[in-house]
Structure 1
Amino acid sequence: MGAALEYDGTGDVRVGHVADLVRKQSAAPTAEGAPEAPVRAVLILAIICMSYFMVILDNSIVFTGLPQIRADMGFSETGLSWITNAYVLVFGGLLLLGARAGDLFGHRRVFLFSLVVFSLTSLLVGAAQTQWWLIGARALQGVGAAVLAPSALSLLTRSFAEGRARNRAMAAYSAVAGLGAAFGLVVGGLVADLVSWRAGFFLNVPVGIAMVVPAVRFLPETARRRGRFDVAGALLATLGSTALVFGIVDASDIGWTAPATVIPLVAGVVMLALFARVERRAAQPIVPLRLFASRERSGAYVTRMLYMGAMMGFFFFTAQFLQSVYHWTPLQAGLAFLPMTLVNFVFAVQVPRLLERASRPLVLATGVALTMVGMVWLSRLDPHTPYLTGVALPMVLIGAGQGLALAPLTSSGVDGVAPADAGAASGLVNTVHQIGSALSLSILTAVAATVSTGHVATDIAARSGAALTGSAVLLALAVVAVLILIVPARATRTERFL
């Protein structure tokens, strides 16, 4: 999901944790090198986390509203995935360009602009009257998110020094982003039950506008840099990813050998190959290849793509299973995710303490492995699966795993980069998050579409189980990536330091 799709708990406890962060740390440096006062540091972190909260909240609202959207607008089962894919593809494809905009124009200026764009396009989504209007508005919303997310993460990394202070800030960022995902499921269900699925999107408008004033007042501005946009690279990344997803989704309906499937798949591969070539030759690429010089960062990008792809499938299919097989209301379906949310929060707030006692790769590997075990358990769904033992308990493991995994995974993706590459590194973290989510969801949707039993409820349960099995496979690959790429790289880095 979001992404980031990162889960956690309640706002009151989180505020206490953020306050504890600034009390225990020395003042963090700003972009200009001056220390931030403790209260100002709390406000900066709160504004950054709230902005990302909006982005994640928005995507989560969709999940519990999908059955209602399908009934209202006549989407097919595979077509329904484009409501999510249109957003995450544009989000992921333009993230690097959005990150570059922050480097060139100043991250606070770009942050404010994207905050307004995201809020206004949310209004368009809520007002959609046709399938294409809805998908198009979601794509425009992805443009705003693509600029907002990397600017927020760059402002965070520049405001908190690498080490303990940043670990705590990253934990807060991951936890609050998770709160947005969890809260979105509940809010999406609540407004879909009481008003309409549209109302959840309208909520972004007043919230986003209200955030502009404190952002202007408290966020530090970063220096503007000379340079230019790598538009060709951004377009090739976006169009190539979109073509791949389009081909995979089409394969669910018309088969893998049909021209309408083969042509976009081939075009997608060609455009992504051209993207790699453009980035090698560009004077100012949106993806500086030196970011991949670190084995740990490269491993973090691979792991994040696999992990978030698995989690996107989890939310997409589990939400539909709860409503279509259990016949629960959207609100009940949203509340059904609370076991994961609460456990996620408990584990996420312990991550800074754990990182002081154990290595980052160990915490990360444990989190990914726990998520995988929970996903394997959940994939055994059938129409008679009891909620407590077949859904809630696996969610507890998934929540514990995600609470442990996401903060160290984010830190591994941005640590050690030069200030000039901060925006690009932040953008790349979010890009692999979103592109991985879109590609994986299209693959899992294609897998689910191959299952048919002839009975509606049994079909939905079987398709959900097949897709969740696919998510478990992605998580197993993520564990392998951590063990092969991140663990050895971190060990080498520690030896050099000693």
Structure 2
Amino acid sequence: MSDTAKQATGAEVKQPGAAGPSRPGLALTLLASCALMIVLDSTVVYVALPQIQQSLEVSATGLVWVVNAYALAFGGLMLLGGRAGDIVGQRRILLVGLAVFGVASLICGLATSPEMLIGARALQGIGAALVAPTSLSLIPINFTDNAARNKAIGVYTGIAAAGGTLGLILGGVLSDAASWRWVFFINVPVVALVLLLAPRVLRESQPQRGSFDIVGAVTSTGAMVALVYALVRTSTKGWGDPVVLACLAVAAVLFTVLILAERRARQPLLPLRLFADRVRASGFVTLLFFPAAFAGMFFFLTQYFQGVWSYSALRTGFAFIPAAVLVLVAAILSGQLVPKLGPSVVAGIGALLTTLGMIWLTQISADGGYVTSLLGPLAIAGFGAGLIYSSVTASIMSNVAPEVTGAASSVLQAVQQIGPALGLAVLVTAAGTPADPVEGMRRAFWVAAVIAALPAVLALFNRRSRTE
């Protein structure tokens, strides 16, 4: 029986000689804490930007780079970070990444100039690129039982997906109660605690001997940086911007070189056999397009709350709590549903719910009420997102060979990083610049509904192929 068949039927796919951690609850807490920290630092800084600008006298362009320096380093080095875990050891690379992330967070909090802060944010992104794929890779290594693994993945993905909203709230609370510097300082004790406990609690993966794929590392990093920068720039400069077009062309050339090189590499950074499995390949596609729609919902509703309803940044964060809570609830519930219904069915249900939520949002108006017009779609979309993230992540990570766990995790994380940037580029273009901003948001939500429906089509396709 193939690995894919075993996963589909609920049979366990174990590593030889593997055993679960002696303290599984603590192990999952440490790994989920890593995911939460990484996601938090993608959004926690947003609310603190006005204070940062005033304190360090940062220009408008500098503020953009406070955000983008993290995103570029994070997205650009993601594939490298995951594969390094396969070769050196997932836990070892996780610890290195945490140390880098913790030191960078401390420097961010102590920054005395815009240049110092932007450089430290880039260093944070490097640490995040090592932590994100390895923390996820360590779940199938430490939870080899099928049911325990699905539950752990559900908790991990739910916390990670809800972390963005928590970042908005935490950023507002820390900035108001203390200082913008504490949105970075808060990472330091968490990192120290995980560094202390992880070697005692988490099992290490089996390092893969061999040479490191230098060509793959250079081309994948260059391609990811060019692509992420182009998509980030598109949201403000448009698709016709010469720099955007040049970066997209560079990314296309480098990705082509990467694929050609990986076909010949003895130990490729990006094993192409990851995409040979139809279920896993469609999972990667789902995690590329679905976050594009879901991130668009947060982007436009943040503008709606603050620009139309005059909410404060902190109140805006609290407005998203129902979606964040239901993402977590659905992700945990997904761990129980996947063994019974299969990941494709669970993902399909999630996609349909999220699509319904996006269609509901196309009816927003300037004079609507939170409970009557927004609570429903936020709840439905959040619950659907939790089902998708958890079930698709489980389908990708549960049947992957141990020696390429890091590579699979890094591709998964990379497409999730590209997805929101791609979604904002497309949805901002769809919204345009109408006299009535709410009308532009309605157009964007129609496009988001179409994007969110794609996983439902893929789920149906996978279901039929397995039946056949």
TM over 0.5: yes
Letter paired with 1:309: A
- From 364, 375, 387, give the equivalent of 2:370: 387
Aligned to 1:104: 87
Contact preservation (8 Å) 1:98, 1:146? yes
Distance 2:361 2:113 in 1: 35
- From 112, 130, 155, give the equivalent of 2:138: 155
Q: Does 1:299 align with 2:282?
A: yes
Structure 2 unaligned residues grouped into runs of 5+: 1-11
Shift of 1:167: 1.2
Q: Does 1:33 align with 2:56?
A: no
Q: Does 1:54 align with 2:37?
A: yes
Which aligned pairs between 1:479-490 and structure 2 lie closer than 5 A? 479-484=456-461, 486-490=462-466
Tell which deviates more after alignment, 111-120 or 463-472. Answer: 463-472
Letter paired with 1:75: A
- TM-score, length basis structure 2: 0.87
- From 417, 433, 443, give the equivalent of 1:451: 433
Distance change in 2, residues 1:469/1:277 (3 Å): same
Aligned to 1:472: 449
Distance 1:406 1:253 in 2: 28
Contact preservation (8 Å) 1:193, 1:330? no
Aligned to 1:347: 330
Aligned to 2:152: 169
Distance change in 2, residues 1:183/1:253 (3 Å): closer
Q: Does 1:366 align with 2:352?
A: no
Aligned to 1:230: 213
Q: Does 1:201 align with 2:177?
A: no
Shift of 1:28: 11
Contact preservation (8 Å) 1:66, 1:320? no
Q: Deviations over 1:247-306 (max 9, x none)?
A: 455556555445334322322222222222222222221111111110000000000110
Q: Does 1:336 align with 2:319?
A: yes
- TM-score, length basis structure 1: 0.82
Letter paired with 1:385: G
Tell which deviates more after alignment, 143-152 or 230-239. Answer: 230-239
**Secondary structure, counterpart of 2:391 in structure 1:** helix
Instruction: Calculate the aligned-residue CA RMSD, in Å.
Output: 2.9
Aligned to 2:8: none
Shift of 1:62: 3.5
Distance 2:42 2:465 in 1: 34
Contact preservation (8 Å) 1:303, 1:482? no
Distance 1:380 1:302 in 2: 28
Contact preservation (8 Å) 2:150, 2:336? no
Contact preservation (8 Å) 2:334, 2:390? yes
Distance 1:298 1:185 in 2: 33
Which aligned pairs between 1:60-139 and structure 2 lie closer than 5 A? 60-65=43-48, 73-75=58-60, 84-127=67-110, 134-139=117-122
Q: Does 1:435 align with 2:418?
A: yes
Tell which deviates more after alignment, 249-258 or 352-361. Answer: 249-258
Letter paired with 1:491: T
Letter paired with 1:477: L
Q: Does 1:405 align with 2:388?
A: yes
Shift of 1:127: 4.8
**Secondary structure, counterpart of 2:60 in structure 1:** coil
Contact preservation (8 Å) 2:347, 2:455? no
Q: Deviations over 1:77-123 (max 9, x none)?
A: xx976655543343233222111211222222111111111122223
Distance change in 2, residues 1:148/1:386 (3 Å): same
Distance change in 2, residues 1:329/1:42 (3 Å): same
Contact preservation (8 Å) 2:52, 2:58? yes
Distance 1:416 1:318 in 2: 37
Shift of 1:348: 2.8
Letter paired with 1:434: Q
Taking only the aligned residue pairs, the percentage that are identical comes to: 39
Aligned to 1:8: none
Tell which deviates more after alignment, 398-407 or 251-260. Answer: 251-260
Distance 2:113 2:83 in 1: 34
Letter paired with 2:99: V
Q: Does 1:192 align with 2:175?
A: yes
Contact preservation (8 Å) 2:79, 2:220? no
Distance 1:413 1:81 in 2: 34
Distance change in 2, residues 1:432/1:168 (3 Å): same
How many residues align? The count is 455
Letter paired with 1:102: G
Distance 1:423 1:409 in 2: 17
Letter paired with 1:473: V
Distance 1:66 1:447 in 2: 27
Q: Deviations over 1:43-88 (max 9, x none)?
A: 2222111111211222232454467667874537xx9766555433
